[in-house]
Structure 1
């Protein structure tokens, strides 16, 4: 029986790519570099700030200016956190259904707590989140299952009673290793239908999934 739902944040519940597009291209403009295509940036959002700086400036981490540019990028992101972000269509409806069904839910993200906690505090529809697990709380972030297992423990749930939603291969790997049901969010930043394995559930959009009868998912668990 499904008793809980856990989610990745960026690319799964939250479309945060516009924040990253703004911050990276503003920094590139400052240094008189050409802007990076928005869709290309979206595909790298889940890989973190270092990958985005390398993508935009076409440099590697060994470059003498890399750390300086990365710090400037993160400072800009912190100052513009959530300014252009929105929940994906259907996220609010799904969270409301979770509450109506008296299910437990939380977020397991590779986003640092400093940023993730602020987003949750400032996004009313996320305020009912029962647990937030970030790399700050772990020895190993995703694709390790440690974060998902910690969230299950905090919510007093068996992993087999939980669905984990994510939009990156790291999410799928962590979910499968933790023993939760895996929901692959192909509307997000980094997954395609071909990335799914036999027992995975494809979620093409959250609004469609919010209409699901959760009991029908029990056969997968």
Structure 2
């Protein structure tokens, strides 16, 4: 798909693993859950790479159980409680993202968030970090979460832009699928929470950001070319 270029009016970000590095909040919550279940600490990187898959996936890897196991939901709720207690304590914007958001504001390019993270955790996290996106779409706000395109379509309406005037960035295959189904230009965040054996280059995104610092050049390629 053609890059919006000069017609770019909005950028929509996935949250965990794309806009904000939240893994350092999740890791101690998962380790505490394991401790309460008489299990030793697990490798932090394994937790980090699974954050984008949500609480169910984290419980599965934390306790090595499936969703049909007895007390699975009780364990998931306990994990969410532990996460809520630490939410935002260690989370931070990825390198270069604060400057990027300021540049978007300076260029009058609206920005928003489309995430599968429930609103009860998303809004406190954004407040903790002092972020004020023009649109925040959570699974609570739509009938079908990503990879369905509804979140992105709603985000574009709230940002008052056309689908082809916006770019979506995400660190999971479901993000790129949602963007493609909506008809948006997509950028895969290879610096995010990618599981072992997976590759952001295999998702079919229009572009791939190896580092968060690369996002400016991918969003505004005409400026990068001006320096060449």
1:13 aligns with 2:19: yes
The aligned residue for residue 181 of structure 1 is 185
CA distance in 1, matches of 2:203, 2:59: 29
Q: CA deviation at 1:207?
A: 1.9
The aligned residue for residue 192 of structure 1 is 199
**In the alignment, is the contact (CA less than 8 A) between 2:201 and 2:208 conserved in 1?**
no
Matches within 5 A, 1:83-162: 83-124=89-130, 126-127=131-132, 129-162=133-166
Q: 1:47 and 1:97, CA in 2 relative to 1: closer, same or farther beyond 3 A?
A: same
**In the alignment, is the contact (CA less than 8 A) between 1:196 and 1:202 conserved in 2?**
no
Deviations 1:138-169 (A, max 9, x none): 00000000000001011111110001000000
**In the alignment, is the contact (CA less than 8 A) between 1:93 and 1:210 conserved in 2?**
no
For structure 2, the residue ranges without an aligned partner over 5 or more in a row are: 1-6, 224-228
**In the alignment, is the contact (CA less than 8 A) between 1:8 and 1:108 conserved in 2?**
yes
For structure 1, the residue ranges without an aligned partner over 5 or more in a row are: none
**Paired residues, number:** 214
CA distance in 2, matches of 1:61, 1:212: 39
**In the alignment, is the contact (CA less than 8 A) between 1:49 and 1:70 conserved in 2?**
yes
Which 4+ runs in 1 deviate beyond 6 A? none
Q: CA deviation at 1:89?
A: 0.6
| TM-score normalised by structure 2 residue count | 0.89
Q: CA deviation at 1:216?
A: 3.0
Please give the root-mean-square deviation of Cα atoms over the aligned residues, in Å. 1.6
